[in-house]
Amino acid sequence: MLRIPPVSGSGPLTQAMATAASGMSTQATRMRVAAENIANANSTAAVAGGDPYRRKLVSFGHMVDRGTGAELVRTDNIRADQRNFRTQFDPAHPAADESGYVKLPNVDPLIEQADLRAAGRSYEASIAVMQQARTLYGKTLDILRS
């Protein structure tokens, strides 16, 4: 998990940096979970009739940092997707049930790839906010030194 160091201060630029940092952290979690789902898209059960890998979903929450007053996003929880598994008739498969059907993960790689791209774009947007806030912070310091 990506750990973003705390940002000290309470001005608007500090709040922007803290908000961007929290966005980067949550989007990194979202990318990790999507990558895990893609990696397990074809994983079957180890025993006959058993359940395969179950897709994971990330949900986010909102909080306010008491130190900076910044509104932050946080990973609320990571839970299993309760949608039904796909099935495939393959009586020779070691994970096949007594009817010859194998349960396959409820993962759609196309959806996971789209989620991965969206998380990447959100991460990049947070980086842009962080860079802009740093630039403005530096310019403010330059003005104060003059």
Backbone phi and psi for residue 123, each to the nearest 5 degrees, phi listed first: -65, -45
- Asked if residue 89 is part of any domain, the answer here is no
Tokens of 33: 């979970």
Domain that holds residue 73: 12-44+62-82+108-145
Query: For each successive 10 residues of the chain (146 residues), what is the average pLDDT?
Result: 53 88 95 97 90 96 88 94 95 92 96 97 95 90 86
- Asked if residue 2 is part of any domain, the answer here is no
Q: How far is CA 22 from CA 18, 53, 95, in A?
A: 6, 29, 41
Counted residue by residue, the chain has a size of 146
SS3 88: strand
The tens digit of pLDDT for each residue in 50-69 reads 899 999 999 999 999 888 88
How many structural domains compose the chain?
Answer: 1
- Asked if residue 6 is part of any domain, the answer here is no
End-to-end alpha carbon distance in the chain: 41
